[in-house]
Amino acid sequence: MPTCSSPIFELCAQTLPACLAASAGGAHRIELCSSLEVGGLTPPISLVEAAVQQCAVPVHVLLRPVADQYRTSPSVVAALVSSLQAVARAGAAGVVLGLLQEDGTVDLSQTRALVRLASPLPVTFHRAFDSTPDLFQALEDVIATGCTRVLTSGGAPDVLTGAPTLARLVQQAGSRIDVAIGGGLRLENAQAVARITAGRHFHGSLRHIQNGLTEQADPSPQIIQQMIHLLSSSKNQTPAGHSPG
């Protein structure tokens, strides 16, 4: 288990081999999903069951029924409720979800209801957060829903670009909610992102190109170990020259 000051790395996985690599590589948790090419969707329940049964790492399941759809609707809420109940029965350690109102702000009432339904499982508010018009108000809203964690790139295309905003969000959150830094986290930017943001929670898929540009290969345990080492070693570096550029 990590100490109170050591980083926590969550692997975003969409296959059983990736989940097994997370276990072997020392990842602290898994976010299980499907269809990463569209930002992630709810995975098949068979994959959830296999991951829970075969991995020694807590499995948190993404609940997102429709691509490019964060807005609340009766059909989306019904799908979230059904999926939430199914993954809870399968033994998931937590769920990852998010709903926005038509104006792009956090849907407090529906998200709060889902958090209550999920209890005692913890709920992470996913990167719908980055689509809100005011990230700092959205953070207060997510805290008010009862979510224990929020995943964000700081509203930017990637975490290095968003690092200054992420640093402000981490500071604003304090001990009230965990800010998970994710979206374009890579080995080559991990130390800079960790240093600039002063974050503790990090999230990434660590997939790499295989067979040209057509296939994204799952990470190896060694790559996961390297990521955790880089995040940990950033604590020992001086902050000079850390501008993301």
Q: What is the pLDDT of residue 215?
A: 59
In order of their start, the domains of the chain are 8-236 (3.20.20.380)
* Cβ contact 9:38 at 8 Å: no
Q: Which residue has the tokens 């029965």?
A: 89
Q: What is the pLDDT of residue 242?
A: 35
- pLDDT of residue 243 exceeding 60, the answer is no
Average pLDDT along the chain = 92
The larger pLDDT score, comparing residue 144 to residue 39, is at: 144
- pTM here is 0.91
Q: What is the pLDDT of residue 53?
A: 97
* Cβ contact 204:227 at 8 Å: yes
Query: What one-character DSSP code corresponds to residue 181?
Result: E
Q: Which residue has the tokens 């991995």?
A: 55
Handedness of CA 47, 119, 133, 171 (dihedral sign): negative
Rounded distance between C-alpha atoms, residue 95 and residue 132, angstroms:
20
Query: What one-character DSSP code corresponds to residue 103?
Result: T
Q: What is the pLDDT of residue 238?
A: 45
pLDDT band at 240 (very low <50, low <70, confident <90, very high): very low
Mean pLDDT of 107-125: 98
The contacts found for 80-83 with CB under 8 angstroms, 24 or more apart, are 80/114, 81/114, 81/117, 83/42
- pLDDT of residue 143 exceeding 90, the answer is yes
Q: Which residues 6+ apart lie within 8 Å of 17 measured at CB?
A: 218
Rg of the chain on CA atoms, in Å: 17
Q: What is the pLDDT of residue 122?
A: 98
Rounded distance between C-alpha atoms, residue 142 and residue 8, angstroms:
21
CA distances from 21 to 63, 97, 122 (A): 22, 24, 24
**How confident is the model over 187-223, as pLDDT tens digits?**
999 999 999 999 999 999 998 766 665 557 899 999 9
Q: What is the pLDDT of residue 8?
A: 97
Please give the single-letter amino acid code of residue 112. R
pLDDT band at 239 (very low <50, low <70, confident <90, very high): very low
Mean pLDDT of 102-131: 97
Could you give the angle at which helices 135-145 and 163-173 cross, rounded to 10 degrees?
Answer: 40
Distance of CA 223 to the CA centre of its chain: 18
| Burial grade of 26 (CB within 10 A; 0-12, 13-18, 19 or more) | middle
CA-nearest of 223, 224, 169, 160 to 194 is 160
- pLDDT of residue 63 exceeding 50, the answer is yes
- pLDDT of residue 237 exceeding 60, the answer is no
Q: What is the pLDDT of residue 68?
A: 76
Mean pLDDT of 183-187: 96
Q: What is the pLDDT of residue 241?
A: 36
